[in-house]
Each structure stands twice: as C-alpha cells, then as structure tokens.
Amino acid sequence: MNIDAPADPPAGVWVNPQVSVGPSPIAGHGLFAIAPIEAGSPVLRLGGRLVTTAELESMFAAAADDPTATYIDTFSVVGDAHLVLPPSTAAHFCNHSCEPNLWMEGPYTIVSRRAVSIGDELTIDYGTISGAPGFEMKCSCGSTRCRGVVTSDDWLLPALQASYGQHWVPVLADRIRSIRW
C-alpha cells in the first residue's frame, strides 16, 4: 500500500528508560516518570504499521466482534494514514489529560511539554493525536481544563490551537493551517 506519510515509521516503539508503567488515578494504568525528565526530552518514539481509514475501520469492527482481541492503539498521521502501534507496548498506557505534560514533536515522536518530576504521570491530549472520523471519548482526567469529552474535532477549538501551536499529529496540524491561512 502506498500512503503519503512523512516517512516510514519504525517497526517498534521506543520508551524512554526514565518511564515506567504503574497504577493510574486517571484510568487503569499509566506511564510515570521514575527520574526527572527535562522539557523537550523524547518520551516515546512511535512505530508500527500504516493503514488507511478503511483498513482501520475494518480492524475496529473485527476487534469489536472478538472478545479476545487486543486493544488497537492508533495515531492519525497524514491524510488517510493512521499508525497502528504493535500490541502490548508501554505506549498503550499513555493516558489522556486536557492539561498534558507531553505533546507531539513530528509524526512519530512524543516529547515532554515541560519538566516532569519523579512520580508524575505522563499524559497527552488525545485530541492532538486523534483525527479518525467519529472519535469521541468521555474524559475524566480531573484537570481544571477538563473538556468532559475528547473528539476528533478538538483541533477546531481555538484555545487548543493556541495552547499546542504546532504540536499536533501532521494531519491535524495541516487542517489547522488550512483554516488559518
């Protein structure tokens, strides 16, 4: 399949060794800093397989029909390309927050948005990575900026555009540029 993506993603997922999985007050398990992490430091380098929206919808449908299926972690990349992460990686445990301490830096890298202290849960705003049509999730992050619901249309919110600048997956950054210029 030929998908117009910025570059082929790596096959696997890299996780900063200063990060560990543990019980989360947000949801289930989360990623936590086990050592201080400086602002701008890479935390995750995403890899996996690029698929089209149609392929992704087929994967979701098959998983919905199979109670033993593993959760499908996916990030929008560009146009009709979505990155499906390998199953059972630590990246699966990166929870959402409406006031995250992580954000995107290019198509496949997640970096710390600010300095992170030992014990802090590492979170990203799912609205900055989810461009699949119809994505919607109830939010219970507990942040004072909690939106209550996170959707694939959150890129349209001017406050988020101002807050995150260019730190969106490329497809959403392109959509923002297209309405601003």
Tokens representing 22 are 């543990």
**Spatial CA neighbour of 72 closest among 81, 59, 82:** 59
How many C-beta atoms surround the C-beta of residue 155 within 10 A? 23
Residue 7's pLDDT is 67
Instruction: Name the burial class of residue 14, with classes exposed (0-12), middle (13-18) and buried (19+) by CB atoms within 10 angstroms of its CB.
Output: middle
Q: Which residue positions in the chain have pLDDT lower than 70?
A: 1-7, 180-181
SS3 52: coil
Residue 138's pLDDT is 94
Residue 1's pLDDT is 40
| Displacement of CA 96 from its chain's centroid (Å) | 8
SS3 87: coil
Q: What is the CA radius of gyration of the chain?
A: 16
CA distances (Å), origin 69, targets 48, 64, 83: 17, 8, 18
Residue 132's pLDDT is 75
**Spatial CA neighbour of 76 closest among 174, 180, 179, 177:** 174
Tens of pLDDT, residue by residue over 112-122, are: 999 999 999 99
Residue 29's φ and ψ, nearest 5 degrees, are: -115, 160
pTM: 0.87
Tell whether domain 14-180 is in CATH 2.40.30.10.
no
| Displacement of CA 33 from its chain's centroid (Å) | 17
Residue 76's pLDDT is 81
Residue 64's pLDDT is 83
